[in-house]
Structure 1
């Protein structure tokens, strides 16, 4: 009889221990069940961060390659490539693309330059946004020169799209008129003078809508 009395407390203690252990297992199971989707979301988030980092690295590589290509164009044809005032969003490109007096036609001599420019963009950064800026000399009225510079920008854009095969959706135009003169020559007396003002320049942007 006394032995039974001894076993009873031991059994109670054992049952209490087992009950506590089972409760802990149940709570752990419930916690694991609740946390499982959270862990999945964290894993997806980490994978997305890694993918974004890889995309940024690839983008930086494409931009660097494009800049190197444009720098080679600058060395081959002359001109200027600068990121001044672009705040890291693109490049301002000046190449020797000029126009005859009172003309908006792309000159035959400038076509290889435009071909090389298109090849550089398409080979390194085909999604870049391009703004073609047309300019004029001082001959003629302000209004006329704005219209002429617009026609020059459109002529270069059309060549880049129709002949060089660039994406028209990525190319915009801007008319500058005589707002950015290189020299004060009007070209009226000698039609070769002032040719530096009759030009097309380019803005290459990594993102953005460009100018219309």
Structure 2
């Protein structure tokens, strides 16, 4: 395989990751809409769309052996291949977490899941997750370490919101155990979504610098 053909394969690989990142962002926005606007249709779209992310991860995994077998990759190429597998896995998990949020909305529909006292915190987490999704796509496109570091700061915002939510739930929550469980799970899902986005950023930093730290 010529170097030009090899580079084309690597471009295709990174292109699939870019599409996965976009899909993961669409999923978290749809899940948040389903949750906060009690929108059954939005939730169903998120659940149905998850199969596409699964297929794209499988596509990435199927491309790797061909890339490695048919060419003698240099160190950067090998890092790209390793990072591509890890990034695809993280993006797929982000889609799965969006599905978990959508399924909670579906399970309680037509009743809203988020009582008024928790609405500001959950809305903040939803907004932060959407920003994180956008920045993940930017990091994949630019491979800029500063962009990647910014994702870590956004993740801190989600972690702080999760702590506020848990404090609210253990301080005489008046809406019952079922509501508390739903909200605790939602907070965890948003937190894990952000954590996986940070993992994508770490892999991009590793790709560019050879070190895993942001």
Compare the two structures and name the one with the higher helix fraction.
Answer: 2
TM-score by length of 2: 0.30
Instruction: Please identify the structure whose Cα radius of gyration is greater.
Output: 1
Task: Provide the TM-score with structure 1 as the length reference.
Answer: 0.30
| Higher relative contact order, chain-length normalized (CA < 8 Å, sep 6+) | 2
